[in-house]
Amino acid sequence: MRSLDLDALVRDRTKRIIVCCGSGGVGKTTLAAALALRGAELGRRTVVLTIDPARRLAQALGLEELDNTPHPVPGINGELHAMMLDMKSTLDDMVLAYAKPERAEEILTNPFYESISSSLAGTQEYMAREKLGQLAADTRWDVIVVDTPPSRSALDFLDAPRALAGFWDSRMARLLVAPARASGRGMLKAFSLSLTLVHKVLSKVVGAQLLKDAGAFMSAAESLFGGFQQRAERTYALLAADQTAFVVIAAPRAESMDEASYFADRLVRDDMPFAGFVVNRVVQDTVSELDAGASLRAAQVASSPVAAAALRLHAGVAKEATHQQVLIAELAAGHPDCSVATISGYNEAINDLDDLRGVFPELEPAPAK
């Protein structure tokens, strides 16, 4: 099994973007924060972006809260900033940046925009890509660590923006824009009978006012979002470049390993720069010469109830450790070209920077500045 050296990864000056992905409940957000902290204390100017709305990153870094702008993390030997994606703010900022002032005002105050800006499928993933593109364009950052959503849909980060961008070229988009372009009855007469009937049906289904708002929004935003595809493709190219590294985090459980394998297969299929797996919260058998069976046999003849209980407890630990090692070996065997790092179970209560440093207890302290 090839070993993934996480310390070497954050030290590598050719790597600028580290994307942490994996299913929920595997310590992904904590690991992203720990990697970012390590990078900063090794002298690299680092920002960590979480797309997970659970707000756990702020707690892990000892901050009161995070928002859509990078906040400095105090108390470290280096430069670390942290932020949490605010999808609506990012979309608003994009409108203000790319649309003409009068068009921007028209878009931002449109009721349809208000209703879809936080719910349209693919919007969160596109805004994450948009924010990553902005951070990558900022020369302040030597390292950008991205904590993706905690589910299989995390890899929508790769392709959902394409689907969203494609919507603006779709037949439905053209259908919505057409009435907003109309001026007076002359234009209405130009509609075919079928198009008119479609609008009548849609008006009955979704409501005439909503349809009118949607059309007005699409018309105002047409030039703005026409650049969706170009910006999405630029960031996709950034993710596929050698300066990026994807790390897949898993817990030593069968279902989590299956999810990790899915992530890895998808990354390899898309030619993404996959650095390897991190299997988190691995049980360590500290008395390796005494296996589960031997412990149980010894418990049966133990001289005291306390000794018997301790031996039975160790038997459970040894059995779980062996089971986890089998799962890890199977994961490695299924991906022989991939590297694997394991992290032993750490204190779940990550409350401060010292707790975060303890995620990698085997690493030497970063040099003081």
Residue extent(s) of CATH 3.40.50.300 domains in the chain:
2-89+123-163+230-357
Strand order of the β-sheet with 46-50 is 2-3, 339-344, 274-282, 244-250, 17-21, 143-147, 46-50, 80-84, 71-72
Give the domain 2-89+123-163+230-357 fold: Rossmann fold (3.40.50)
Q: Are 343 and 24 in contact (CB under 8 A)?
A: no
For residue 215, the model assigns a pLDDT of: 57
- The alpha carbon of 299 is separated from its chain's Cα centroid by a whole number of angstroms, namely 46
For residue 140, the model assigns a pLDDT of: 95
Annotate 240-288 with DSSP letters as a single string: HSTTEEEEEEE-SSHHHHHHHHHHHHHHHHTT--EEEEEEEEE---S-T
pLDDT tens for the chain, residues 1 to 369: 688 999 999 999 999 999 998 888 888 888 999 999 999 999 999 999 987 666 777 877 888 888 889 999 998 889 999 998 887 888 788 788 777 788 788 878 877 777 666 665 556 667 777 888 889 999 999 999 998 876 555 566 676 555 555 555 544 455 444 554 554 444 444 444 344 434 444 344 344 555 555 656 666 666 666 566 677 778 888 999 999 999 999 999 999 999 999 989 989 998 999 999 999 989 877 776 778 888 888 888 888 888 889 888 888 888 888 899 999 999 999 999 999 999 886 556 777 888 888 887 666 666 555
For residue 335, the model assigns a pLDDT of: 93
For residue 172, the model assigns a pLDDT of: 46
Q: Are 56 and 31 in contact (CB under 8 A)?
A: no
For residue 155, the model assigns a pLDDT of: 65
